[in-house]
Chain A
Amino acid sequence: MNRDSFVRLKRGAARFAVGVLAALTLAWAPMDLAAQQGGNIVGTVRDGETGRPLESVQVFIEGTGVGALTNAAGRFLLVNVPFGDVVVRSELVGYRSASEAITVTPGESAVVELSMTQTAIALEQIVVTGAGVATERKKLGNTIASIDASQLEDAPISSFSDMIQGREPGLVGLPSSGSTGEGSRIRIRGSASLSQSNEPIVYVDGIRVDRAGGFGDNVGAGGLGSPSRLDDIPPESIERIEVLKGAAAATLYGTEASNGVIQIFTKKGRQGTPRWTLQYDGAAIQTPTDRMITHADYARSSDDQARISARWNRNVNLYDPFEIDILPDAFETGWSNALSASVSGGSDLITYFVSGRYANENGSFGLSDLGPAEDTNKKYQASANIQMFPTDNLSLRFSGLYSQVNHSTPSNANNIFGSFSSMLMGQLRLATADNLYGQRAFATTRENMQELIHQDAENFSGSINLNWQASPGWIFDATFGVNAVNQRSSDFFPFGWDVDGFTPFFTQGQREIDDRNHREVTGDFKLSWDTNFTDRISNTLLGGAQGFVNETLTSGGDGDEFPGPGLEVVGAASNKDVFENYLKVVNAGVYLQDQIGWDDYLFVTLGGRWDANSAFGEDFETAFYPKAAVSWIPSDQLDWPYSTVSTFRVRGAIGQSGLQPGAFDQFTTYSSLSSTEGPGVAPDNLGNPALKPETSTEWELGMEFGFFDDSHSLDMTYWNRTVNDALVARQFPVSGGFRSTQLDNIGEVQGHGFEIAYNGSWVNRDSWNLSVFANASYISEEVTDLGGAPPLKTGGSYPRYRNFIKEGYSPGAFFGAVIDNSKAIPLDLNGDCSEPSNAAALEYFSQPRGLSAFEVIPQNCGGAFLDTFIGKPTPDWQGSWGFNLGFMQNWEVSSLFEYKYGNYHVQDLTGMFRQANAVIGRNIPEAARVGAILENPASSAQQRLDAALYWANNLRALAPMSGMNGIHAADFMRWRELSLTYRFPGSLADRLRLSNGAITLGVRNLALWVNDDYTGIDPEINALGRCSDGSLDCNFLSSVEAFGVPVARRFTFSVRFGF
């Protein structure tokens, strides 16, 4: 089907639908249908596996012109059907056609129930993203994934982050924590950039939208509980999500697209009477505590014994370890409620879809009796999509999304004021009524619960699209839109927050605010010409121009020392500091693409895009990104009769896209820095006028198979990517006066991988059916060249974060100290890296020793002992699998499992603190046992030596042995989704005057299986949550568990009605 015929079909279908809907209306009216020329057939079309009614199915009588489209309830009405035996057939892209023979008699309405089975392969599916115009998937040589939101109606999801999690190989959602409102970071085929954001660019209905997250630069909850602006998009308004996975597919998006493109299409109205949908989603939220290690301690003195007795009601002997499991105290059962409604309908002149959603969640973090900090997230969301058809060849579409979000989270993560963090750091022997969990530094847990972190955000996206068929084959399409985000975040320590008299930190209060105003303006104009050169050769020529203006104004301030309680504004503080920052990036691009088709089985696409960007250096002009793609479908060419391999396609694509540097990175700049003697300036950015975008070149080869009449499919892709001129945030010698790194086009990063996806219908009977899916992606990445720049380390000088960018290794690879296992006694007792003899060690341990009194011997002791490669933070393999089981006509069970496997390491920084820190750690049973043995005067030298060796081999961590005994293999599988749905049968729906209805019980994050080596709470949590900038930490401080709460388990209940 070429473009022209597709458009004609669409128009025809629309007109047809009007007629059908009009007829449907009549069907419910008390009319004498028998007065018509033929008979009538009424019926319903359902998904054979799920029993879900199917909308927009073409239903027709074979050999006649009689046909109709199904409505939202899957119902259809065929009128003027010839009397006698006829065959009713239904067709829908992505489904095998279904038919049923029936006899039509005068005076009766025949009833037909059609059940359609999904095909596992959908080459006829229409996609838009990356192709420029609506195109059948089979014509594209590159990978494009499509997530159909209707398939997720019953899944236990509540956000956009949930929608994409585990759906497509190579598309990874990184949840970071179980904090309420936490958004997922998104990665497609790993990380293409070393210094720019590795989040894909995101479009909604053709316009670029804000993909940021977090609380802004001036406010931080500690790293987690960070919302994603993409989660402002109400999931019920999404029709489908298309994903371009890399440069080969995303060339037409030019600069910024090398991490892939996600385009969200919102639901549109369909002609007909208003159709309403109401949905309620409720959830009980539970934090798993089974992997949390109990606290342990021992008394060193009689004072300790007295406190332990008073606080924990335990009478303990000196140096006798004891345990109290305090961490479960931090959690309660949370809840979530969401109510959504939508209405759609329209006529041949206008269609509409309008929806609204209210969601309110109070998460599972507890401790509310200690202070007002809370984990809540409230959303008010609305969407509207209105299409007008003033003439047969002109359509106008207005679409809008609006969200208002109110979000609060307790202070958390690797943060001395984190509430849960402080419990993790508790010292049982020091606990008292005023210091409940025994904090030894910073603040008590009760004091931490006084800190209030909050964000209010408004997010609006609005776009106008004009589509004009100027003449046969010529289509002009223009989209203009804006995304506006106003986000205000605050972090507030009230006056007198030192309620236990413990903390020294700004006891008269402190407040930080961050006001982020972000605008993205998109203009997109394209002209396509669709023609057939001959009967066998089709051609689609596309040209277009895109422009983006991205502006961010950030302002805010902080103040400390309020004169008294009740003051909650920065202006009331004694010490105030304000800031304001403005960023603007303008991108303009033009593109040209031609696609030639041969007999509907061979397609060749050539194209290119030129970009100019305000962030390019003065010495650089424009960037050019070419592309080429081939798609060949031998099974269509040969029209082969094999049902075993019913479809076979081969495809290949190569293309480039880029990433531009930051807005002002090209300039040598000085920032304002006042002295006590007047305003001054300080070195800021070294500058580089030759800056240009880094260029990602990717090629991919793929094969798609349909087996057994397409009831099973296998999709395999190999991709290979090289990023040239990679922008490296180079650290020049700080002795030159400039502390900041400077971007330079000096790097190269290579990556390659496989993606495999299987879908299959294993059983498809009337009584039950079963379909199974599985996907896997393999990825290998390597930093091949840093252009002479030194390795980059996450976390700056903070030694506990061990992710590095080093030549020859995967981005973010872990390096650190590793115990020297070649030594029987790897203990350094005299500071010279030498192993003591057994006798010398026993002599040393003949007296009580503290754990800080001696050191261990690492590999390369005395040299760069922190530079031992330990592992990489990304797995070789990751993916998902699951099934859908339908039974008893109206019941369905769905499940999804996700896994990461192979050379996958996660740093358990929480554990490292609890193992080894002399002040706030050593509070797990093993550490308490070892410490007690070493300090106990009654211990023997051999006992102390044994304890010291256990300490060295299992527990020693943190400075100066950063990285030791805390980075572990962490392969895991998580039971991500499980749901049971009961779909109302037609009779029940009719009785309730509904068009459809369903009730779903579900569980999200039901279970977790982790490699036995891993000591942490949850390998999916991370030190940083949803951030989106190009900083080294945001990109590569990954797979580091640092005082986060585990991914929460959600027990969901949903009811959905359509009428």
Chain B
Amino acid sequence: MRMFKKATGFALAVVVATSGCDILDVENPNNLVQDDLNNAAAASAVVNGGLATLTRGIGYTHAPSATVSDEIRWIGSRDAWNQLNFGFVSSAANEFTDAAFPFINEGRWMTDEAVRLLNEVYLAENPGDATLETELGRANLHAGLAYLWVAENFDDFVLSNRTIEAPPVGEGNMSQMVDEAIRYLGEAISLSTKHGDEVTQLRAYAARARAHHYRAVWGMLNPSGSVPSNPLVSSSAADSDASWVLQRIGTAGLWRWDLEYTNASVANDFGFQVNERGELAIGLAYYSGSDWVLMDPIDDVADPRVVEQGERFLASGQYTSTTLASGAEMHLILAESALASNDTDGFALHVNHARALTTGLSDYTGQIPALDMLIHERRAALFLQNRRLNDHYRFGIPSPAWQGTSHASTNNGALQPITCIEVRANTQVSNAECG
């Protein structure tokens, strides 16, 4: 029978071949195949692909984290947002964290893959190529950003490769994600400095400042479960990178690194849920629906930074940008470091530099306790920038929407989990909630 089948297959092939061409060999014009990516000409597309997938992943994961915080509230039809609003952030079955998880994984993998292809394929075939090394600098920046974002938003994570599954990193080891981010960003700084890519260089320094800062925050909040007695972070590495950035942009500079979403690239799911679908809205502590209500404690006016960023967000539809780093944040890193060292003058100096970036705000001269000032400054200057949830935890300020039985209330520091889509497919991950 086997011979018969082969003979028939041969006969079919003959019939097909004699018909003029191999009509069974159908071209696919819709996609690239794997071999196409092994060509160094694809380097730019691969690096851009890393950025695009990461950008999309950030949008998807930003929405759940923001909804757990007091920045966002649920007003729509899908109750799983409400569960997040209530503080049930650790549920692996929540549809929105579960839907977001594949996207941030795609971004993480693609940025890693871009670095791998550049190192192991393109530059191996073209050693020292300046253009490729510049692309490698960008690729490292994206990968560093991916690891940092994951560390800031997840309690645990998995680093598999295609169909080869990996075990979880482990909740206690998530600091390694930050360390990996710092390593990638260091590579980005090195390569961008070597080839004069100032844009990448500046972004990488700013991102690394944030990474160093978050590394200390992570250590404060982990193991999760309790509010730290001293919420203040002091990191000399963060201070160094932040100072470098401020020196580059000038202390009064309005520099801001926005991750852009456009109709020509990818849309921001966070913006879509708020501005288009109407499932989410700005939290009532910030916006009543008609007025901005978060008041500046010094000038007793609606904080103009919240107003400016909020208006920009609401006007951008599904293409809202996400600020990844800014001069204001660099100042606040330095201000916090000073406050942690009881340097109140240094604290006020940097806080007032940050406030001076916005017209109409008076200097802080000790009107309220410095810690309260820092909390407010971070809340206002970093509004909708994905910092608020960890600040809730760090400063022991729960969102008013959190139910007493929620993960956020009962397990201070709880972030998004490895969700069921991964748990069910990966034999090395388990979670009773996912069956």
Contact = CB atoms under 8 A, between A and B. Distances in A.
Given A664-B28, A671-B31, A734-B422, A796 B99 contact: yes
Interface hub of B34, B262, B263 (most chain A Cβ within 10 A):
B263
Interface in A564-617: 574-577, 581-582, 584-586, 588-590, 610, 612-614
B435 A739 contact: no
A203 B331 CA distance: 72
A622 B12 contact: yes
Interface string A846-886: 00000011010000001111110000000000000000000
B37 interface: yes
Interface hub of B49, B83, B95 (most chain A Cβ within 10 A):
B49
Nearest to B259: A676
B435 A867 contact: yes
B346 interface: no
A735 B49 contact: no
B75 interface: yes
Contacts of A440: 75
Top 8 A-B residue pairs of the complex, sorted by shortest distance between their CB atoms? A831-B405, A737-B109, A680-B48, A680-B49, A864-B435, A790-B424, A575-B263, A669-B31
A24 B110 CA distance: 80
B166 interface: yes
A831 B404 contact: yes
Contact of A670 (B32, B77, B95): B32
Contacts of B33: 667-670
A641 interface: no
Interface in B142-174: 157-166
A913 interface: yes
Interface string A764-807: 00000000000000000000000001110000111100000000
A423 to B, nearest CB: 14
A937 interface: no
Contacts of B396: none
| Category for how many chain B residues contact A | 35 or more
27 contacts: A416-B77, A575-B319, A582-B28, A614-B24, A621-B9, A622-B5, A673-B266, A680-B46, A680-B51, A682-B49, A682-B53, A686-B162, A732-B425, A735-B426, A736-B160, A736-B161, A736-B162, A737-B110, A737-B162, A739-B103, A742-B163, A790-B425, A830-B405, A919-B75, A919-B77, A920-B77, A959-B83
Interface of A: 416, 425, 440-442, 503-506, 545, 549, 560-561, 574-577, 581-582, 584-586, 588-590, 610, 612-614, 621-622, 624, 663-664, 667-687, 731-739, 742, 789-791, 796-799, 828, 830-832, 852-853, 855, 862-867, 913, 916-920, 958-960
Nearest to B276: A505
B434 interface: yes
A99 B6 CA distance: 59
B406 interface: yes
A614 B110 contact: no
B102 A739 contact: yes
A913 B78 CA distance: 10
Given A549-B23, A676-B265, A917 B79 contact: yes
Nearest to B162: A736
Nearest to B53: A682
Nearest to A551: B26
Given A671-B31, A682-B53, A959-B78, A797 B98 contact: yes
Contacts of A687: 34
Nearest to A788: B427
B45 interface: yes
A504 B28 contact: no
Contacts of A674: 48, 52, 264-266
B179 to A, nearest CB: 19
B275 interface: yes
Interface in B24-54: 24-34, 36-37, 42, 44-53
B106 A682 contact: yes
Contacts of A585: 26
Given A416-B278, A675-B49, 9 more contacts: A575-B263, A667-B28, A670-B33, A676-B55, A681-B32, A731-B421, A737-B113, A797-B421, A960-B80
Nearest to B111: A737
B390 interface: no
B234 interface: no
Given A586-B23, A586-B24, A416 B277 contact: yes
B126 interface: no
Interface string B399-435: 0000111100010000000010110111001001111
B262 A676 contact: yes
A667 B31 contact: yes
Contact of A866 (B75, B93, B262): B93
Contact of A733 (B25, B96, B165, B266): B165
Contact of A675 (B15, B48, B432): B48
Contacts of B161: 736-737
B105 A670 contact: no
A566 B64 CA distance: 38
A683 B162 CA distance: 10
Contacts of B403: 831, 853
B9 A622 contact: yes
Contacts of A853: 403
Nearest to B427: A788
Contact of A918 (B53, B82, B166): B82
Interface hub of A504, A614, A677, A732 (most chain B Cβ within 10 A):
A677
A675 B55 contact: yes
Contact of A734 (B94, B106, B275): B106
B341 to A, nearest CB: 39
Given A664-B28, A681-B32, A503 B278 contact: yes
Nearest to A579: B30
A1011 B419 CA distance: 38
Contacts of A561: 317
A505 B79 contact: no
A654 B168 CA distance: 49
A992 B76 CA distance: 65
A918 B79 contact: yes
Contacts of B56: 673
A664 B30 contact: yes
B275 A504 contact: yes
Contacts of B25: 614
Contacts of A670: 31-34, 36-37, 49
A733 B26 contact: no
Given A670-B37, A681-B32, A958 B79 contact: yes
B276 A734 contact: no
B51 to A, nearest CB: 4
Nearest to A671: B31
Contacts of A677: 48, 51, 138
A738 B163 CA distance: 9
A866 B37 CA distance: 41
Given A585-B26, A738-B162, A681 B42 contact: yes
Interface hub of A503, A561, A959 (most chain B Cβ within 10 A):
A959
A362 B106 CA distance: 47
Nearest to A913: B77
A581 B31 CA distance: 9
Interface string B245-270: 00000000000000011111110000
Contacts of A919: 74-77
A731 B98 CA distance: 14
B313 interface: no
Contacts of B24: 586, 588, 612-614
B16 interface: yes
B91 interface: yes
Contacts of B266: 673-675
Nearest to B79: A959
Given A739-B103, A831-B406, A610 B163 contact: no
B184 interface: no
Contacts of A790: 424-425
A504 B165 contact: no
Contact of A738 (B12, B51, B83, B106): B106
